[in-house]
Structure 1
């Protein structure tokens, strides 16, 4: 019983202090998972700055395509096989509904002395019956539909630390998780 409690506390500590140590490398479209690459063939003439990336974060590998469409910056992430993981759209603080922003702000006020939002994204995860391609098209056509999460990169200050953190909140502004963003991840995290 005693070892179970120690293991549980170590696990909780680790899960709250994970570090985002992503390494992103731009790749040719031909190096992207073929099934996912094909999703963008039909819209490549409608988007700006279509770029393909391979991303590693510790043991996890994924692929990401970034582009601008209808004046919004998108990031669409896939696993190594080409299955959709999530879609993210960069937004501004004023785009967050007031009650949700209030909930998010309460978390920052309670846990940090100071915080400055550097990047805010709304995140969509396909929990529908739509195929990955249908879901991507759906979000591109209706980017203001219900999303599942907010992801915020913020510069935070506590009594002990001054650091960059990535924090995830659900659609209602309830805190879910946080991890430190390393300097190696910082630059590409901002697009």
Structure 2
């Protein structure tokens, strides 16, 4: 192999590594009517939740997938219930504060943020109950009792500064605060007006 071939191979390797390391999330979320939401998802919500307030339905399109989200308030907490495009439950998230996260877990999350950003600000913190092999009843029961379980994740949206300036990042941590995934979020395009 000559010198040029080695440089091309190395450049290709680093390019692929960068793509794999930090995915970009091109997100567009817009509000939709209940009739535009998957009927299977509506049935799951109605079977598993009562006494909720302010339910709103959204369709989210990003660079990876299409999903549907129902956002509602129950017992003074804000919930987001996400389904795939076929109406299959993906996860339930609760909007929380840093004081709601176990101390050791939050310490690990802070350590990651301090080591990876010169400066950052947390915009949103959610406790996530991912869909597993458990029944819908079990997932909804765990989420709506706000249980802290080893299967939980924490999803954080931060404005973080690195060498290239400030960007929004969506970062996923496991129940112990160990890093799982990061995606760079480009400015979302929210359309909250129903026509």
What is the TM-score with the length of structure 2 in the denominator? 0.84
Q: Measured at CA, do residues 103 and 140 of structure 1 come closer, stay the same or move farther in structure 2, by a change above 3 Å?
A: closer
Q: Measured at CA, do residues 187 and 124 of structure 1 come closer, stay the same or move farther in structure 2, by a change above 3 Å?
A: farther
Q: CA RMSD in A?
A: 2.5
Which residue of 2 is the match for residue 134 of structure 1? Answer: 137
Please give the alpha-carbon distance, in whole angstroms, between the structure 1 residues aligned to 2:110 and 2:64.
32
Query: What is the CA distance between 1:35 and its match in structure 2?
Result: 0.8
Given candidates 162, 165, 169, the residue that maps to 1:165 is 169
Q: Where in structure 2 are there 5+ consecutive unaligned residues?
A: 1-6
| Structure index of larger Rg | 2
Which residue of 1 is the match for residue 114 of structure 2? Answer: 109
Q: Where in structure 1 are there 5+ consecutive unaligned residues?
A: none
Please give the alpha-carbon distance, in whole angstroms, between the structure 2 residues aligned to 1:85 and 1:44.
16
The reply to whether residue 96 of structure 1 matches residue 101 of structure 2 is yes
What is the TM-score with the length of structure 1 in the denominator? 0.85
- Within a 5 Å distance, the mapping from 1:37-186 to structure 2 comes to 37-42=42-47, 46-130=51-135, 133-146=136-149, 147-185=151-189
Query: What is the CA distance between 1:17 and its match in structure 2?
Result: 2.1
- In the comparison of the two structures, how many residue pairs are matched? 186
Query: What is the CA distance between 1:110 and its match in structure 2?
Result: 1.0
Partner SS for 1:15: helix
Please give the alpha-carbon distance, in whole angstroms, between the structure 1 residues aligned to 2:13 and 2:42.
41
